[in-house]
Amino acid sequence: MDAAFFKDKVIIVTGASSGIGLACAKEFGRLGACVVMAARRLEVLEALAPEVSADADRVLCVKTDVSVEADCKALIDKTVEKFGRIDVLVNNAGISMRAMFKDLDLKVLHRLMDVNFWGTVYCTKYALPWLLEARGSVVGVISIAGYSALPARTGYSASKYAIRGFLDTVRIEHLKDGLHVLVFAPGYTASNVRNAALTADGSAQGMTPLDEDNLMPAETVAKALAKGLRKRKSVVTLSTLGKATVWMQKRFPRLLDRLTYGYIAKETDSPFK
């Protein structure tokens, strides 16, 4: 059923060079979609494209820095130039951080908002006319940190909360014209996002405080996202921990604050220590 739904649909995935974005590109390609892969490293995208589809005409790679408005507009223009339509936009590109706010250079917060929030806004703005024409879908890949604050990730949580508020509003604005908006919140997922997370001075931390082998595989996340698209869900929250966190945030927020503090304090090289 999924394959029939996605057959020949044109799907843009930002942040498609690794992690959840790459897994989604592969999953959509497997289901018969035409996939547009967007990321900053064009050579990496082009090397990965054959894994998305054996038919080169069904994959378009576009060098895109989503923090740059002109790049986002060019991404949409090149997609329409090649395929003539856009059915789905997956706003996945994002970066993380790990540092206490009191120690943080504010340029880190600006960078997080530029990539995570403004990247979503730019791409959605320019894709919207085509998505409305196709009665298509716009997805924002957020995080459980977009529902419940994650300490030492002020910029990350703030950007994910902002994406959720932005897309929830877009959904209501287009309630009567067929646009589907999905706010998609995975739990902890195996990827390089924590290795590349910014520290207090803006440099990459170069390591992960978590055991990546025990986290949800990106391929599992991609399949869940495809299912959410097919069912045109408004919200998808993954993992038992993620669902429990959202539930507790609504009912026992003070208790959740303490539990979250304790959880982060146990991380390798925790900022709380």
Q: Hey, what are 21's tokens?
A: 């974005």
> Which amino acid is residue 30, in one-letter code?
R
Tell me the torsion sign for CA atoms 68, 71, 75, 81. positive
Tell me the torsion sign for CA atoms 79, 138, 38, 60. negative
Is 122 labeled as catalytic in the residue annotation? Answer: no
Give 123-126's long-range contacts (Cβ < 8 A, gap of 24+).
123/12, 123/14, 123/66, 123/72, 123/75, 123/76, 123/89, 123/91, 124/89, 124/91, 124/166, 124/167, 124/170, 125/72, 126/72, 126/73, 126/75, 126/76, 126/77
Query: Smallest Cα–Cα separation from 9: which of 30, 252, 263?
Result: 30
Q: Which residue among the candidates 156, 161, 188, 261 is catalytic per the annotation?
A: 156
- Alpha-carbon distance values, 175 to 6, 131, 178 (Å): 23, 14, 7
Tell me the torsion sign for CA atoms 80, 38, 163, 24. positive
- Residues annotated as catalytic are 156
